[in-house]
Amino acid sequence: MALEDKFGRAIHLKEGQSLETVDGQKITANGNEVARLDFLLRKGHSNH
């Protein structure tokens, strides 16, 4: 999995690292998708 940092860049998450979504759900990282997120961010898909 990958995550967007506060500067809008894709960053790597370690295997098993947990995230909490806006609605309170917990998600556990289980793959490396930094390249895919980086591509989407460059295409204009962002939460900022």
Per-residue model confidence (pLDDT) at position 38: 77
Domain count along the chain? 1
**Range(s) of the domain holding residue 10:** 3-45
Contacts of 18 (CB under 8 A, 6+ apart): 26, 27, 28, 29
- Dist. CA 45–CA 30, nearest whole Å: 22
So what's the pLDDT on residue 32? 67
pLDDT of residue 16: 82
- pLDDT, tens digit only, all 48 positions of the chain: 677 888 988 787 787 888 888 899 998 877 767 777 778 888 887 766
pLDDT at 4: 82
